[in-house]
Each structure stands twice: as C-alpha cells, then as structure tokens.
C-alpha cells in the first residue's frame, strides 16, 4: 500500500486531468478526481441525437504515441481498450471557385495534388514539409515537452541544438509571411495558414514558429480512433479506474485550501478534503478567480489575448455525400477579413470558413443510420464578450447552409434531420473555459509560448496545473504533454513510492 500521506487531488476530469491522475497513480499517489459534470472527458465527450452519435469537441487525432505511452507507463496492454487507423487523406479542401484539393497522407502525392490543382511547384511543398519537420524535431519537442519556467530546462542537452536551428524569421515573421515567401499560389498559402486555428490563433499575427504544426498531420499522419474521438476518453478513463484512480462526478470544487504557502486540499460539497498535492485541470483564469480567490492573478492572466472559440452545429444529415471525407474544409474568399472579425471586431463574418467532421465515413452505420451521416459543422468564432449569440448563430447558420449548398450542389437544409448547437457562451458554461476560448490564450505574439502559465504555482507548494490554458497549450497532444510535464515536475520535487 501507498503511504497515507501520499494523496493527490485532480480538479477536472478533462483529458489532461485523467492523464495526470494516471501518471500520479503510477508514481504512488492515492488519487481522487473531482468533476462538476456527470461524465469524464471535458470537451472530449460525446452525445446522441436520436440515432446519430456526435463527438462533442476535438475531432482531429494526431500523435497516438501519447496515448500508447500512458498504457505502457501503467503496464497495461492498449489493444483491449483502444485502436486506431491512419487516414489516407487528411482533409478535403473546397475553395469558393469550386477547386477541390485532396490532402493526401503521402507527401509526394500531396505535392503533386497541389501542383495539379493549384499550380504550386512540387518542390515548394516538399521543402516546406521538410522545414516543418526540422522546426518540430529540433526546436518544438524541447519546448513542448519540458517546463519553460524551470532553469533546469536550460541545461538540457537539446537546448544548444534548438538554438542552433532557431531562425529570427521563425519569431519575427508571421506564419502568413513565411507561407507567402514559400509558396507561389495564394490557395496554398491559405491552406497552410489554417493551421494557426489549431491553437486558436491568427496566421497574420502568430509567429512563423507555428509552421511546425503541419508536420504533425502531414509528416506524422492523422488518425481515426475506432468508435470516434470519445474512445480516447473512454480508454483513458478505464485505464485510470483499473489503476485505482477514484472519480467523483457531479462534485464541484468550491475552493483550494492553502496555508502558509502550502496546499492543504480542497473544499467540495461543503466539506474539507485534505491532500498533499492538488492539480487543477480547470481553466487557469477560473482556477485563480473561483478556487483561489486571487483576483489579481486572475486579472494578470487576462493580459494575454484569448484564443478563438467556435460555433458548432451538430447535424444529422439524411443522405451521404461521396465528395466528403472524415475531415473537410470549405474556405472563405477573404481569410484575412475573417480573422479580423475573430480577433478584432468580434462580429459574425458573412463568409465564414466551414469545417465538417463526419465520423460515420469511417464506420458506416455506427454513428449514423445506413445511408446517412453525422455532421460536426464548426465555424471559428470570437471569444465570448457578451455578443448576441442567438442573432450571431442565426446569421452564421444561414451563411453556412448557403455555402455548403452551393459548393456541394444540393440544398442542405431539408436534409437536416437532427440538430443541436454549441456556442462560445455554452462552451464556457459546460467546460469552464473562460470566454469560451478553446485554447486559453492565443499564440498571436512571438513570446506567447513563454507567456503561457507554468504547470506549477510559484506561490503555493504542492499546487500544479494541467490542460489547454497552461503550458504547452491546447489540443489533445499538448494537453497530454502538459500532464507529463506536471507529473515529471512532481516526481522531481516530491518523493513517492511506485504504485504496485
């Protein structure tokens, strides 16, 4: 048995919280997870509308090695819990003029596709993806897998290599500027500019360092988890239970208890619950404001620009569309104007870019009835600043249906058999993501990576943070990475025994 004093509490059963709980349990802690909702996963959850099943949140799966690592760490075989397959086409792109590009997983085929469809010289695409890999492998891994707020990171062996490969252009040029220098076709520039949205940022402001992101999808590959994205949550939740993690659902944490600069536990359900460690998977703003009662620190978080949010339509569609695949993008004719609306005006853009995820493409008859499809239709939206979301949604829905009907050659609206909507306002309410921002803060400044909140408290010993609102950022791989960084910090700071 583990010593009684080795206790840890995780606040929030989002994917980072579950991963942190597993890692702490392996280190030897008795772990309790408190979640205000009735289900695990946070944004990575699912629901049904009649005979249609929908993943509620994240829809792109890359870097499955992060999942595999957790099972190996826990000494469990992943196969009974989780399986996935590599996608031959990462995305279909639809341009306003009717051009359709298939983003093949094979980079040689992708380069030829961009040359044939967009007139982009093949060498430009190959060179760019090689550069993207170089940035990630030589620079990105160091900063995405280690704390940037510990001096010990500066002495790691990879620092010299990272500095060697770092170019000033990666920091002082925007993604769009680098893309315009690399590619000859504006359509290719737009295609790769969209990767800024993977962390809720603006490609016209975000640093060119983020051009490492396409490496994850095009060089390493995108995948489909059998059963949909919810299977990731289900697998890690089952693994956590098997290792002895205890979950408390419908239990809202009211306060984190501190005394003389040391964490003492939490208050939940009106009772004090002691613990030596507390790990918050709640948005860092709400952690400070609601759980720590620290208005000054909460305000300090807001000095950084919030990431974008999303307006999502879940549609059960009464037929199948052969021209669509798992991931589909319908571009706007004016990308820069769209991002101006997202980060400056906060208003609904008349010609939004539309993303459609259809998991029934990979498992026909499973998430949707035979001959029908489950459409997860997402439009990037500004963070919640009190907009009239009902009016916003009405205008957005009309614009989306018009665009899709025109580019697919069929009126979409009569095919919608089931519908549910998720807005920035309801995202904030359901997932405690301040202002509905999907990724906490944006990466629209060259120092954004260094400005993200650390994974530990500098004021309170034993208090740690994981999830998309802290280092290294949002998205499934980075949330899982945040759990690893935090667990490593704890292992290096607090002595524990390995769990049997």
Query: At 292, which CATH number?
Result: 3.50.50.60
- The dihedral through the CA atoms of 249, 250, 255, 259 has a sign that is negative
When pLDDT is averaged across residues 275-298 and rounded to a whole number, the result is 96
For residue 266, give the 3-state DSSP assignment.
strand
Residue 102 covered by a domain? no
59/127 same-domain check: no
Classify residue 248: in a domain, yes or no: yes
For residues 135-161, average pLDDT: 68
Count of domains for the chain: 3
Q: Give dist(CA 329, CA 337) in Å, integer.
A: 17
**404 and 416 in one domain?**
yes
pLDDT, one tens digit per residue, over 411-430 is 999 999 999 999 999 999 98
The whole-number pLDDT of residue 1 equals 32
With respect to residue 299, please indicate whether it lies within any of the assigned structural domains: yes
319 and 395 inside one domain: yes
Angle of helix 122-135 relative to helix 175-182, nearest 10 degrees, comes to: 140
**Which residue, among 32, 55, 28, 31, has the nearest Cα to 42 in the 3D structure?**
55
Q: Identify whether 104 is part of a domain.
A: no
Nearest to 379 by CA among 410, 421, 337: 421
> Rounded distance, CA 282 to CA 294, Å?
15
Is residue 441 in some structural domain?
A: no
- Pairing verdict, β 89-94 and 246-249: unpaired
Residues 285 and 389 in one domain: no
Give the global pTM.
0.93
Residue-range definition of the domain harbouring residue 425: 306-431
Query: Residue 216 has what pLDDT?
Result: 95
Q: 300 and 336 share a domain?
A: no
CA pair distance 6, 416, nearest whole angstrom: 53
Residues 130 and 206 in one domain: yes
Domain assignment of residue 264, yes or no: yes
Q: Is residue 242 part of a domain?
A: yes
Q: Which residue has the tokens 């802290």?
A: 470
pLDDT in tens, 74-120: 999 999 999 999 999 999 999 999 999 999 999 999 999 999 999 99
Query: In the Cβ-directed half-sphere of 212, how many Cα atoms lie within 13 Å?
Result: 19
What confidence tens digit (pLDDT) does each residue in 254-264 have? 999 999 999 99
Across all residues in the chain, what is the average pLDDT? 92
Tell whether 444 is covered by a domain.
Answer: no
What pLDDT, on the 0 to 100 scale, is given for residue 187?
98
**What residues contact 52, with CB distance under 8 A and at least 6 apart?**
314, 316, 367, 368, 369, 372, 374, 417, 418
- Do 263 and 215 fall into the same domain? no
pLDDT at 335: 98
Residues 430, 436, 440, 443, Cα dihedral to 10°: 150
Pairing of strands 463-465, 277-280: parallel
**At a CB cut-off of 8 Å and minimum separation 6, what does 168 contact?**
none
Q: State whether 300 and 331 are in the same domain.
A: no
Pick the closest to residue 487 from 185, 73, 52, 47 (CA basis): 73
Tallying the residues shown for the chain, one arrives at 500
On whether both 313 and 423 belong to a single domain, the answer is: yes
What does the pLDDT look like over 360-381, one tens digit per residue?
Answer: 999 999 999 999 999 999 999 9
The burial of 494, by beta-carbon neighbours within 10 Å (0-12 exposed, 13-18 middle, 19 or more buried), is given as middle
């Amino acid at each position: 048995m583990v010593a009684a004093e080795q206790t840890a509490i995780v606040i929030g059963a989002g994917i980072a919280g579950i991963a942190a709980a597993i890692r702490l349990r392996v280190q030897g802690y008795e772990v309790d997870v408190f979640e205000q909702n009735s289900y695990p996963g946070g944004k990575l959850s699912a629901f049904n509308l009649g005979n249609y099943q929908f993943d509620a949140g994240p829809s792109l799966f890359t870097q499955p090695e992060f999942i595999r690592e957790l099972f190996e760490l826990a000494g469990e075989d992943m196969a009974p819990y989780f399986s996935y397959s590599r996608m031959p086409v990462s995305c279909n792109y639809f341009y306003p003029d009717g051009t359709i590009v298939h983003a093949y997983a094979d980079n040689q085929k992708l380069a030829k596709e961009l040359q044939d469809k967009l007139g982009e010289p093949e060498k430009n695409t190959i060179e760019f993806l090689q550069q993207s890999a170089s940035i990630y492998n030589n620079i990105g891994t160091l900063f995405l897998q280690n704390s940037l707020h510990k001096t010990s990171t500066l002495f790691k062996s990879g620092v010299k290599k990272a500095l060697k490969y770092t170019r000033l252009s990666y920091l002082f040029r925007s993604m769009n500027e680098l893309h315009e220098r690399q590619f000859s076709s504006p359509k290719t520039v737009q295609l790769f500019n969209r990767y800024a949205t993977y962390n809720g940022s603006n490609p016209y402001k975000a640093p060119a360092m983020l051009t490492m992101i396409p490496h994850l999808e095009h060089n390493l590959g995108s995948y489909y988890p059998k059963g949909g994205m919810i299977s990731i949550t289900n697998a890690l939740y089952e693994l956590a239970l098997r290792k002895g993690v205890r979950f408390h659902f419908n239990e809202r944490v009211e306060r984190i208890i501190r005394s003389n600069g040391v964490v003492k536990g939490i208050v939940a359900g009106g009772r004090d619950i002691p613990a030596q460690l507390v790990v918050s998977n709640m948005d860092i703003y709400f952690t400070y404001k609601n759980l720590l009662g620290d208005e000054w620190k909460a305000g300090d978080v807001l000095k950084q620009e919030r990431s974008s949010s999303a307006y999502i339509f879940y549609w059960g569609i009464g037929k199948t569309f052969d021209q669509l695949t798992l991931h589909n993008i319908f571009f706007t004719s004016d990308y820069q104007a769209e991002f101006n609306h997202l980060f400056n005006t906060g208003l609904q853009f008349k010609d939004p870019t539309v993303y459609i995820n259809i998991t029934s493409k990979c498992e026909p008859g499973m998430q949707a009835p035979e001959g029908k499809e489950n459409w997860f239709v997402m439009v990037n939206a500004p963070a919640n600043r009190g907009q009239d979301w009902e009016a916003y949604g009405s205008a957005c829905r009309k614009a989306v249906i018009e665009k899709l009907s025109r580019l697919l050659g069929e009126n979409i609206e009569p095919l919608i058999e089931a519908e549910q909507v998720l807005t920035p306002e309801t995202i904030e309410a359901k997932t405690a993501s301040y202002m509905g921002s999907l990724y906490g803060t944006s990466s629209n400044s060259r120092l954004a990576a260094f400005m993200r909140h650390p994974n530990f408290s500098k004021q309170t010993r034993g208090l740690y943070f994981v999830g998309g609102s802290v280092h290294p950022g949002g998205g499934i791989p980075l949330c899982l990475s945040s759990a690893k960084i935090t667990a490593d910090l704890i292992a290096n700071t607090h002595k524990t025994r390995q769990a049997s």
